[in-house]
């Protein structure tokens, strides 16, 4: 009942405001895409209007309904702030920027910890079960606002925040200036798109001792895109991207002190060339080449040891210095045959490709000291020996075939098969997939869609160098008396581990009710198998080796109910409820030996995901009041994330599930107005706005301080802390 009251009060206000206005701005939609050039470009657009009956087939009608439904925000977007960009459908994000994923570890470096100003919009293709989807590499954005008709220019800063120090102005808290322009060249035979964006933001963390410190995020993206149509039937596309993503005091939380949080920087670039040939009878042949290079470094703030204090407090200097360079070359071919008719319409396509990836790195490790609350409660000292250098190159090849079959106007099927092979796993990776869209009634107001398939992931390249990498040396202590020193071998259960894969399905019903309402009900499940695990061969002081295996598992389930309501011709309100669960093996290799290596390795457990929130309610909209002022309210209510009790566990720390953080409730409000102006004798638009996050100033803690009851030998909760208070962001945009 208490949760219902928290939800209903802002919801009633939102509904009353919706009914009071007569017009509203069209809701903002993703302007981003994955690196998959086969994704449906129409899916990145949103008309917001409730679509009327269509004479098209089931797939076309399903796409139109999907365009009118919102893309849900990601569950974790850093700072605890609600951001209208994001998608959770595959539990794997395709990120628009080319700077977000580390290709060596196959992980997003900062998933969910970036402030709103640094978070990237993401996009999941409409048809999630097509075999044309690549593995989950992240590359260039694919939805540039390229303009062949005339020159277009825009510039602005959508996230401007001031920093206050001792009740006075202390500089900028956030800024994200950007510009882009596009237009035809050489008499229309070529089209240019050029963009540049810079992002700067501070994210404040309250320390366990009552102080506060800032993590500083900074990054930029440069994107040059040419389309050349000088040759008949050919469109040649050339792209150049330069990018940087850095954080000073990365991964700092309420339990991690500033000196224990390292500086991080990842920079690189990518160049790609693609040719699309369109035949006279509808045949299409796509060829593309790309080359990507990344440099990554992690630097501690000093040379001293790092202290891990029971209950998870980290002090001292970060223990690892990392320098890494990686490259990836990729060649892809795809062919689409002209439409054929046999028991309906068939659109057959096929393709394949080859890629070669390589990296070399150096790790120079310091000391990690595990102790209790008192400095003389020494448990262990970990150091490193062996070569600090790692290097490997990996070859991959793959092929796919797909048939988009429409046996009737009311049914569309996507049937396909994908095959992959890599020098890491040396196994045949067969991935059948199938999807469908069904119009159960001829009026086109209801669409049932779904799919089922297998998705192979990317095997992290550093898994291939694990057995030759540096070794951990652990000196255990018993009441400050040193015990035998342990040199941990790096072992693997077999020479070539299987590549992890996901078996997934979803079922969705989209229903149009009259002219003002669209409903969506969706259920989905993802089961991960052959996930790479790293764990000690024996518990506590008996450990002799760290063992890499492919026996990990995970499972995520989700049910979603969404409503899009338009009480007036141009007013929109969105409401969603999501019920989900997510469990996984905690010793997943990528999250333990990824970009930031874990301090200690304990026994594996099958447990709740640290970002699991079983219940979430969202409400947001865009409403225009008299005077062309547009309001954008947003309400986010979700279950708190799990937290753990960290104990020494007989010499090796072990996370034991203890509880959840309190329920998060955040009401955000934005307001903006556009002005029609003139620039160089052309019509232009000037937009100014302000957004307030956590308008009510509610206490939404991000950390828990725990302790151990010395009498009952069990964990106790001392307090919650490190909340995000009310904050403000201004925006200025100019277009002509």
Q: Write the DSSP assignment of 620-688 as a string of letters.
A: EEEEEETTTEEEEEEEEEEPPPEEEEEE-TTTS-EEEEEEEPPPEEEEEEEEEEEEEEEETTEEEEEEE
State the sign of the Cα–Cα–Cα–Cα dihedral 100, 106, 110, 112. positive
Predicted local confidence at residue 677, as pLDDT = 86
By mean pLDDT, which of 576-580, 587-591, 709-713 is the weakest?
709-713
Tally Cβ neighbours within 10 Å of residue 542.
11
In angstroms, rounded to a whole number, what is the distance separating the alpha carbons of residues 611 and 125? 24
Query: Is 374 within 8 Å of 363 (Cβ atoms)?
Result: no
* Phi-psi domain of 510 (left: phi exceeds 0; alpha: psi -120 through 50; beta: other): beta
Q: SS3 for 470?
A: coil
Collect all residues with Cβ–Cβ distance below 8 Å to 27 and sequence separation of at least 6. Answer: 46, 48, 70, 572, 574, 621, 622
Q: Round to whole Å and give the CA distance between 448 and 440.
A: 8
Distance CA 734, CA 649 (A): 58
Bridge partner residues of 375 (DSSP):
none
- Residue 24 scores a pLDDT above 60: no
Helix (H, G, I), strand (E, B) or coil at 332: strand
Q: What letters, b where the CB count within 10 A reaches 16 and e where it falls short, cover 684-718?
A: eebbebebbbbbeebebbbbbbbebeeeeeebeee
| Inter-residue contact 575 to 595 (CB < 8 Å) | no
Cβ atoms within 10 A of the Cβ of 54, count?
16
User: For residues 619, 622, 624 and 628, what is the CA-based torsion angle, rounded to 10 degrees?
Assistant: 150
Half-sphere CA count of 430, side-chain side, radius 13 A: 1
| Closest C-alpha among 721, 641, 691 to residue 75 | 641
Do 28 and 411 form a contact (C-beta atoms < 8 A)? no
Query: Which pLDDT score, from 0 to 100, does residue 14 have?
Result: 42
CA distance linking residue 16 with residue 346, whole number of Å = 49
Higher pLDDT, 318 or 713: 318
Quote the percentage of the chain above a pLDDT of 90. Answer: 45
Any idea which of 544-553, 637-646, 706-715 has the lowest mean pLDDT? 706-715
What single-letter DSSP state applies at residue 74?
P
540 DSSP 8-state letter: G
Task: Quick: pLDDT tens for 127-175.
Answer: 667 776 555 433 334 456 777 788 999 999 888 888 766 666 667 888 9
Task: Pick the closest to residue 502 from 474, 473, 535, 528 (CA basis).
Answer: 528
DSSP 8-state assignment for residue 16: H
What is the C-alpha separation between 83 and 73, in angstroms, rounded? 6
Contact 290, 275 (CB under 8 A): no
N-terminal to C-terminal alpha carbon distance within the chain: 51
Closest CA to 122 of 60, 182, 176, 76: 76
Confidence check: pLDDT of 434 > 70: yes
pLDDT at 163: 75
Phi, psi of 19 (to 5 degrees): -70, -25
Closest CA to 462 of 599, 310, 321, 359: 359
User: Average pLDDT in the 488-499 region?
Assistant: 95
**What percent of the chain has a predicted confidence (pLDDT) above 70?**
81
Average pLDDT, whole number, for the chain? 81
Query: What residue ranges define each of the domains in the chain, with the CATH number in brackets?
Result: 2-735 (2.40.170.20)
Pick the closest to residue 207 from 260, 167, 165, 247 (CA basis): 260
Residue 50 scores a pLDDT above 90: no
Model pTM?
A: 0.84
Distance separating alpha carbons of residues 593 and 363, to the nearest angstrom? 12
Q: How far is CA 719 from CA 308, 374, 697, 703, in A?
A: 20, 20, 19, 9
The string of pLDDT tens digits covering residues 656-670 is: 888 899 999 989 899
- Give the C-alpha separation, 526 to 136, whole Å: 15
pLDDT digits (tens, 9 = 90+) for 352-387: 999 999 999 999 999 999 988 777 788 899 999 999
**Residue 398 CB neighbours (<10 A):** 21
Higher pLDDT, 134 or 68: 68
- Which whole-number Å values give the CA distances from 94 to 64, 101, 519, in the listed order? 22, 10, 25
Q: Work out whether strand 545-565 and strand 481-492 pair parallel, antiparallel, or are unpaired.
A: parallel
310 by Cβ neighbours in 10 Å (0-12 / 13-18 / 19+) ranks as buried
User: pLDDT for 94-123, tens place per residue?
Assistant: 333 334 556 677 666 665 556 666 555 544
Q: From CA 407, how far away is CA 345, in angstroms rounded? A: 6
DSSP β-ladder status, 545-565 and 606-608: unpaired
Residues in the chain: 736
d(CA 468, CA 368): 21
Mean pLDDT, residues 579-584 taken together: 90
- Cβ neighbours of 681 (radius 10 Å): 5
CA distance 395 to 397: 7
Beta carbons of 566 and 50 less than 8 angstroms apart: yes
What average pLDDT score do residues 322-340 get? 93
Say which residues have a Cβ less than 8 Å from residue 209's Cβ, sequence separation at least 6. none
Contact call for residues 76 and 115 (beta carbons, < 8 A):
no
- Quote the strand ranges of 77-189, DSSP E: 101-102, 107-108, 152-165, 168-175, 178-185
Compute the C-alpha angle 539/544/548, nearest 5°.
Answer: 85
CB 203 within 8 A of CB 723: no
Residues 6+ apart with CB under 8 A from 534: 466, 546, 547, 548, 587, 589, 592, 593, 601
């Amino acid at each position: 009942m208490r949760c219902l009251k928290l939800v209903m009060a802002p919801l009633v206000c939102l509904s009353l405001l919706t009914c009071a206005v007569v017009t509203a701005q069209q809701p903002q939609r993703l302007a981003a895409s994955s690196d998959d050039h086969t994704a449906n470009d129409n899916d990145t657009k949103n008309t917001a209007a409730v679509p009327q009956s269509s004479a098209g087939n089931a797939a076309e009608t399903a796409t139109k309904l999907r365009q009118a439904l919102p893309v849900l925000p990601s569950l974790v977007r850093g700072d605890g702030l609600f951001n209208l960009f994001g998608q959770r459908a595959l539990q794997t994000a395709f990120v628009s920027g080319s700077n977000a994923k580390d290709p060596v570890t196959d992980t997003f470096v900062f998933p969910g910890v970036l402030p709103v100003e640094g978070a990237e919009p993401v996009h999941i293709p409409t048809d999630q079960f097509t075999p044309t989807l690549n593995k989950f590499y992240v590359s260039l954005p694919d939805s540039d606002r390229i303009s062949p008709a005339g020159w277009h220019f825009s510039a602005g800063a959508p996230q401007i925040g001031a920093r206050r120090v001792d009740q006075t102005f202390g500089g900028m808290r956030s800024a994200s200036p950007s510009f882009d322009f596009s237009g035809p060249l050489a008499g229309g035979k070529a089209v240019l798109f050029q963009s540049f964006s810079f992002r700067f933001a501070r994210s404040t963390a309250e320390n366990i001792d009552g102080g506060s410190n800032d993590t500083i995020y900074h990054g930029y993206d440069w994107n040059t895109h040419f389309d050349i149509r000088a040759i008949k039937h050919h469109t040649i596309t050339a792209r150049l991207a330069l990018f940087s993503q850095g954080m000073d005091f990365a991964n700092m939380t309420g339990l991690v002190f500033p000196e224990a949080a390292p500086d991080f920087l990842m920079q690189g670039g990518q160049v790609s060339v693609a040719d699309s040939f369109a035949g006279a009878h509808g045949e299409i042949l796509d060829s593309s080449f790309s080359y990507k290079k990344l440099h990554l470094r992690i630097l501690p703030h000093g040379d001293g040891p790092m202290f891990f204090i029971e209950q998870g407090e980290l002090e001292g200097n970060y223990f690892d210095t990392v320098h890494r360079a990686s490259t990836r070359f990729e060649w892809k071919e795809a062919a689409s045959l002209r439409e054929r008719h046999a028991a309906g319409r068939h659109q057959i396509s096929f393709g394949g490709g080859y890629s070669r990836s390589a990296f070399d790195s150096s790790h120079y490790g310091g000391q990690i000291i595990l102790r209790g609350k008192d400095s003389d409660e020494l448990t262990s000292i970990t150091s490193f020996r062996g070569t600090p250098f790692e290097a490997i190159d990996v070859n991959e090849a793959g092929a796919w075939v797909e048939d988009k079959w429409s046996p009737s106007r009311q049914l569309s099927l996507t049937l396909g098969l994908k095959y992959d092979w890599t020098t890491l796993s040396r196994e045949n990776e067969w991935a059948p997939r199938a999807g469908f869209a069904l119009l159960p009634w001829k009026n086109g107001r209801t669409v049932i869609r779904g799919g089922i398939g297998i998705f192979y992931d990317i095997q992290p390249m550093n898994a291939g160098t694990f057995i030759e990498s540096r070794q951990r040396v652990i000196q255990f202590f018993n009441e400050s008396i040193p015990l035998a020193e342990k040199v941990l071998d790096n072992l693997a259960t077999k020479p070539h581990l299987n590549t992890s894969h996901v078996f997934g399905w979803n079922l969705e019903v989209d229903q149009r009710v009259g002219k003002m309402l669209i409903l969506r009900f969706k259920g989905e499940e993802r089961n991960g198998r052959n996930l790479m695990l790293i764990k000690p061969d024996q518990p506590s002081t008996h450990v002799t080796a760290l063992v890499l295996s492919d026996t990990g598992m995970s499972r995520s389930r989700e049910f979603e109910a969404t409503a899009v309501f338009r009480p007036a011709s141009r007013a929109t309100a969105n409401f969603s409820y999501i019920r989900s669960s997510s469990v996984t093996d905690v010793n997943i290799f990528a999250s333990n030996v990824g970009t930031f290596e874990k301090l200690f390795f304990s026994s594996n457990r099958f447990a709740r995901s640290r970002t699991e929130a079983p219940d979430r309610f969202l409400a947001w909209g865009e409403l225009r009041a008299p005077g062309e002022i547009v309001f954008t309210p947003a309400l986010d209510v979700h279950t708190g994330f799990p937290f753990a009790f960290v104990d020494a566990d007989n010499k090796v720390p072990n996370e034991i599930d203890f509880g959840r953080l309190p329920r998060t409730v955040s009401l955000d409000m934005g307001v903006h107005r556009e002005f029609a102006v003139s620039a160089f004798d052309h019509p232009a638009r000037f937009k100014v706005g302000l957004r307030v996050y956590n308008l009510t100033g509610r206490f939404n803690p991000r950390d828990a301080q725990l302790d151990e009851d010395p009498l009952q030998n069990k964990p106790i909760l001392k307090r919650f802390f490190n909340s995000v208070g009310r904050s403000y962001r201004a925006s200025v945009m100019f277009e002509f």
